[in-house]
Amino acid sequence: MGFDWHQACQEQWNKMSDNWQANSREMWEEGSRKNIIPVLTRYIQPAKGPVLDAGCGDGYGSMLLAQKGFEVTGIDLAGQMIEKASARISPDMRLSFQQGDVTSLPFDKEYFQSIMAINVLEWTSYPHNVLLELKRHLKPDGILAIGVLGPTAAPRQHSYKRLHGKEVIMNTIMPWECARLLGDTGFEVVHQDGVYKRGVTDDMTSRLSLELCQALSFLWMFYARPAIG
C-alpha cells in the first residue's frame, strides 16, 4: 500500500495534541497568533453569519471568537484535538466542534461569512484544491483568514526529510507562494501582515520591502475575499 498522507497527518496531529494544548493559550493570547482575531474582527460581525475554524486544533481560537458573540464551528482531522476542543464549549457560547477534513468539508455551499485556517495549507497534499474547497463554503462577500509559516519558522523541520527522498506530510509554502495561490484560486488579498522572529524590530521592517519582510517572518497572515468578476 502506498503512502497515505491523510492517515499519516491524522496520526501525527493526534500525537501532538497534548503538546499543542499546553501551548495554545500562549499562542493565541500572547504569541504568534495574538493579532489574528483583532484583525479578523475588523471585517466580520456576529450578525452576518457563522464562522468556520478549519484545522481548529484544540479550539482555543474558536473559543475566543465565540466569546465575542460569533457562531463558530471548529473542524479538525485529529479526533484527539476535537475531544480537547469540545471541552471548551459552554452554554453561553454558540460553539461546536466536529472531526472532519478540510479537503472535503461537510457544510452547505457559501455557508460561512468567514473561514479561519491557520497553518493548515502546509499540512495538505494539494493546497490549491483546499483553497478552492474553502472558497466554495465562503459567502461571496466573506473573508478568509489564512496563515502560513514564514521562512524562519522552526516547524518547517517537519518537511526536511523530503530532501532525503522520504515521504512527508508537510508542504513548505512560502508567503509569496501563498499570495500567488490565493490569486490563482480567485481570492483578492485585502490585508496582510507578519509575525517576526525575536530581534526583528518594527523600525527594521518599516524600511524593508514586502518580500524582505516576508523573508524574516515566522508566520504570515493573509486576509482575502473572493474576487468579484
pLDDT at 3 over 90: no
Query: How far is Cα 211 from Cα 215, in angstroms, rounded to an integer?
Result: 6
- Identify the CA nearest to 59 among candidates 45, 78, 41: 78
Position 142 confidence tier, pLDDT thresholds 50, 70, 90: very high
| pLDDT tens sequence across 40-83 | 999 999 999 999 999 999 999 999 999 999 999 999 999 999 99
- Identify the CA nearest to 193 among candidates 206, 203, 183: 206
Q: Where are the domains of the chain?
A: 5-226
Q: Which CATH number fits domain 5-226: 3.40.50.2300, 3.40.50.150, 3.30.43.10, 3.40.50.10070?
A: 3.40.50.150
Position 198 confidence tier, pLDDT thresholds 50, 70, 90: confident
Give the per-residue pLDDT at 130. Answer: 97
Query: How far is Cα 24 from Cα 92, in angstroms, rounded to an integer?
Result: 22
pTM flag (> 0.85): yes
Query: How far is Cα 167 from Cα 164, in angstroms, rounded to an integer?
Result: 9
Exposure string (b/e) for 79-116, b if CB count within 10 Å is 16 or more? ebbbebbeebbeeebebbbeebbbeebebeebbbbbbb
Q: Are 140 and 88 in contact (CB under 8 A)?
A: no
Query: How far is Cα 153 from Cα 141, in angstroms, rounded to an integer?
Result: 32
- Identify the CA nearest to 155 among candidates 12, 5, 3, 47: 12
Coil/strand/helix, residue 96: strand
Listing DSSP states for 45-80 in one string gives -GGG--EEEET-TTSHHHHHHHHTT--EEEEES-HH
Coil/strand/helix, residue 221: strand
